[in-house]
């Protein structure tokens, strides 16, 4: 998956972008994906772990999962009528053996321009 280009501002801060203020809070918003590791991928990662260093198969899996969660986060905010997401964070957890969920979440807001 390639790096995402955002259609609306997504910030990790709770401050609106420069030149704007929050007109109103739309509400909490999130994007979720659940990914599993294949048997082959897990075996290859196991081989890499024997020699030490980065386990690239898992790095790519984690990066792809975060990208997908971000895409879904932004899509959900746009559907809600928001034009910005503040306080974006990631969370993750194991749902079952070899399956993890990744959640991107934040606060969807409508902005107003300061003139």
Beta-carbon count within 10 A of 23 CB = 14
Tell me: the pLDDT tens digits for 84-105?
999 999 999 888 777 889 999 9
Tell me: the pLDDT tens digits for 7-55?
999 999 999 999 999 999 999 999 999 988 654 455 455 555 556 677 7
How buried is 46 (Cβ within 10 angstroms: 0-12 exposed, 13-18 middle, 19+ buried)? exposed
Any idea which architecture 20-37+65-113 has in CATH? Answer: 2-Layer Sandwich (3.30)
Evaluate whether 19 touches 84 at the Cβ level (below 8 Å). no
Q: Which residue has the tokens 């801060």?
A: 13
58 or 67: which carries more pLDDT confidence? 67
Q: What is the pLDDT of residue 1?
A: 47
Beta-carbon count within 10 A of 29 CB = 24
What order do you get walking across the sheet with 20-36 strand by strand?
20-36, 99-113, 84-96
Evaluate whether 99 touches 38 at the Cβ level (below 8 Å). no
Q: For the chain, what are the domain ranges? A: 20-37+65-113
């Amino acid at each position: 998956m390639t790096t995402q280009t955002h259609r609306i501002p997504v910030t990790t801060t709770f401050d609106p972008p420069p030149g704007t203020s929050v007109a109103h809070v739309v509400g909490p918003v999130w994007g979720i994906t659940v990914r599993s590791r294949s048997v082959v991928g897990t075996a290859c990662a196991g081989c890499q772990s024997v020699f030490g260093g980065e386990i690239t198969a898992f790095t790519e899996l984690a990066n792809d999962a975060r990208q997908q969660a971000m895409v879904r986060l932004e899509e959900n905010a746009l559907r809600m009528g928001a034009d910005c997401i503040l306080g974006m964070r990631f969370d993750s957890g194991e749902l079952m053996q070899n399956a993890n969920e990744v959640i991107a979440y934040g606060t969807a807001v409508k902005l107003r321009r300061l003139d």
